[in-house]
């Protein structure tokens, strides 16, 4: 439907025409995309043609007359997007990565029918209104949110000074007409709160051996799937990557919302990677006023400026979303030329499998207490309840954390992964 040529030349046209047979062959592959690549002198000429909207299962890269086939990583993204900006930074990063095929976005976190509108509107603004969305389990959500001592929003039933409306993006999304969304949406047509779209999640997992399930919220959707099929994740060799838990703090939001469900989730697969909150505290784009005196204050060297000056649809969508969150009472960091802590973007980055040299992953045997604390088995007397999983314990260095931030900023600014 669209073709982009970085450098136009007759030779490129000839190369592409000579590969017509390969392109036709590609069309027989369900959900396939083709990337044309040709070398012309010192230029690298690229074009892209989406052969059909919706899910993509493979990439065909054609270089110098040779067709090369490679599989994309199939992802299901389970997100509670609606209150915090980090869910959207994570989605933006995943949308920019050509190696990731988002088969489905699943909404979670209480008022999922409204959050389905939030996700649909955001994906549409990013130019990816073709991605299917499943409405997760709908439960009661407190009317307000109140910042805790660390500035993190917590559920609050009754209004007190300092509260904001929950979910924050309620007004931003409430008038979005889902009938205009191009992709399929599962589980929002009924007024019955017990009606949801998780059957589609079950189908995808069973049909796509070895996919990655990125959990950017609490675990109630996974708990529902396990109730129906306790072995669904292990049998299908699903890699679960979840943002949650704390090693050093006294409380963590995602894991503590449903401690029992969290433990079930961590035990559901032989391949589970946890990203606790500690490494994420270094994941925040900032402007020149946040540089140390020894650093170069040139705006072009600030990660926030790199992102803000981007021209991609995804960077524009993120800019509008940040302003909406600030307008509705949270994440006012945008006025200071910086972002909120981007917890889920770290999980999305680890799930991508890119730049593993930037962070440290360790195998761990640990228990999870009701406050979401990750307690190594040797530090607890309750070793029988210990679980085995991998943990991103830290960045490889302070420089590595900075490199991640600049990589994220460049990627979203360009709309494609800037490795």
Ramachandran angles phi, psi of 366, nearest 5°: -155, 165
* CB 221, CB 201: distance < 8 Å: yes
More confident position, 312 or 326: 312
Instruction: Output the pTM of the full model.
Output: 0.80
Handedness of CA 250, 408, 201, 195 (dihedral sign): positive
Q: Residue 300: what pLDDT?
A: 55
Q: Among 49-63, 145-159, 222-236, whose mean pLDDT is lowest?
A: 49-63
Distance CA 176, CA 173 (A): 5
Q: Residue 298: what pLDDT?
A: 54
Over the stretch 296-320, which tens digit does the pLDDT of each residue have? 545 556 899 899 999 999 999 999 9
Among 287, 299, 315, residue whose Cα is nearest residue 416: 315
Over the stretch 257-297, which tens digit does the pLDDT of each residue have? 899 999 999 999 999 999 999 999 999 998 754 555 555 54
Q: Residue 143: what pLDDT?
A: 80
Q: Residue 7: what pLDDT?
A: 38
The percentage of the chain sitting over the pLDDT mark of 90, rounded to a whole number, equals: 58
């Amino acid at each position: 439907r669209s073709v982009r040529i970085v450098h136009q030349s007759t030779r490129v046209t000839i190369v592409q025409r000579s590969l017509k047979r390969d392109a036709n062959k590609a069309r027989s592959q369900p959900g396939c995309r083709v990337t044309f690549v040709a070398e012309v002198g010192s230029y690298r000429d690229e074009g892209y043609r989406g052969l059909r909207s919706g899910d993509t299962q493979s990439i065909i890269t054609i270089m110098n007359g040779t067709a090369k086939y490679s599989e994309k990583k199939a992802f299901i993204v389970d997100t509670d997007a609606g209150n915090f900006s980090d869910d959207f930074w994570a989605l933006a990063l995943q949308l920019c990565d050509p190696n990731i095929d988002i088969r489905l976005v699943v909404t979670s976190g209480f008022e999922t029918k409204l959050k389905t509108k939030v996700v649909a509107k955001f994906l549409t603004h990013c130019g990816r209104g073709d991605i299917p969305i499943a409405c997760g389990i709908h439960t009661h959500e407190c009317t307000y949110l109140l910042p805790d001592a660390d500035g993190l929003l917590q559920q609050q039933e009754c209004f007190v000074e300092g509260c904001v409306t929950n979910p924050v993006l309620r007004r931003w999304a409430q008038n979005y007409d889902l009938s205009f969304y191009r992709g399929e949406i599962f589980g929002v047509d009924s007024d019955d709160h017990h009606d949801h779209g998780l059957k589609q999640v079950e189908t995808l997992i069973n049909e796509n051996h070895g996919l990655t399930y990125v959990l950017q919220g609490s675990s109630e959707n996974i708990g529902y799937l396990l109730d129906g099929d306790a072995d669904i994740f292990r049998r299908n060799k699903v890699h679960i990557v979840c943002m949650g838990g704390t090693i050093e703090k006294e409380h963590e939001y995602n894991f503590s919302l449903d401690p029992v469900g969290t433990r079930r989730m961590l035990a559901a697969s032989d391949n589970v990677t946890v990203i606790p909150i500690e490494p994420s505290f270094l994941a925040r784009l900032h402007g020149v006023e946040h540089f140390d005196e020894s650093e170069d204050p040139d705006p072009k060297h600030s990660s926030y400026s790199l992102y803000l000056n981007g021209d991609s649809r995804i960077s524009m969508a993120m800019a509008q979303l940040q302003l909406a969150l600030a307008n509705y009472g949270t994440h006012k960091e945008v006025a200071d030329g910086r972002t909120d802590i981007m917890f889920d973007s770290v999980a999305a980055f680890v799930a991508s499998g890119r730049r593993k040299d930037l962070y440290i992953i360790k195998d761990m045997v640990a228990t999870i207490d009701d406050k979401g604390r990750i307690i190594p088995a040797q530090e607890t007397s309750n070793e029988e309840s210990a679980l085995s999983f991998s943990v991103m314990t830290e960045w490889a260095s302070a420089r590595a954390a900075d490199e991640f931030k600049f990589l994220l900023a460049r990627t979203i600014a360009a709309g494609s992964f800037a490795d």
